[in-house]
Amino acid sequence: MAASKAFNVPIVGGHTNCHSPYDALSVAILGRANRLLTSFNARPGDILMLVTDLEGQPHSQYPFWDAATLKIPAVLQSHLELLPQLAEAELCDTAKDISMGGIIGTALMLLEASRCGAVIDIGALPCPAELSLEQWLVSFPSYGFLLSVRPNKFEPIKRVIQQTPLICQAIGEIMAGHKLTLTAGQESVDFWDWQQQPLTGFADPSGLSVPLRSGWADN
pLDDT digits (tens, 9 = 90+) for 88-102: 999 999 999 999 999
Q: What is the CATH number of the domain that holds 91?
A: 3.90.650.10
What per-residue confidence (pLDDT) applies to 218?
Answer: 43
What per-residue confidence (pLDDT) applies to 219?
Answer: 40
Residue 92 contacts residue 187 (beta carbons within 8 Å)? no
- Print the domain residue range for 154: 38-193
Which pLDDT tens digit goes with each residue over 27-48? 777 788 889 999 999 999 999 9
| Rounded-to-integer distance, Cα 122 and Cα 106, Å | 14
* Residue 17 included in any domain: no
| Rounded-to-integer distance, Cα 200 and Cα 47, Å | 23
| Rounded-to-integer distance, Cα 168 and Cα 161, Å | 7
* Residue 7 included in any domain: no
Does residue 215 have a pLDDT over 70? no
36/118: higher pLDDT: 118
* Residue 199 included in any domain: no
* Residue 131 included in any domain: yes
Gyration radius of the chain's alpha carbons: 18
* Residue 113 included in any domain: yes
Number of structural domains (the chain) is: 1
- 187-to-121, 122, 133, 183 alpha-carbon distances in Å: 10, 10, 16, 6
* Whole-structure pTM value: 0.86
Mapped onto helix, strand or coil, the DSSP state of residue 174 is strand
Phi and psi angles of residue 73, each rounded to the nearest 5 degrees, phi first: -55, -35
Which pLDDT tens digit goes with each residue over 44-73? 999 999 999 999 999 999 999 999 999 999
| Rounded-to-integer distance, Cα 11 and Cα 180, Å | 39
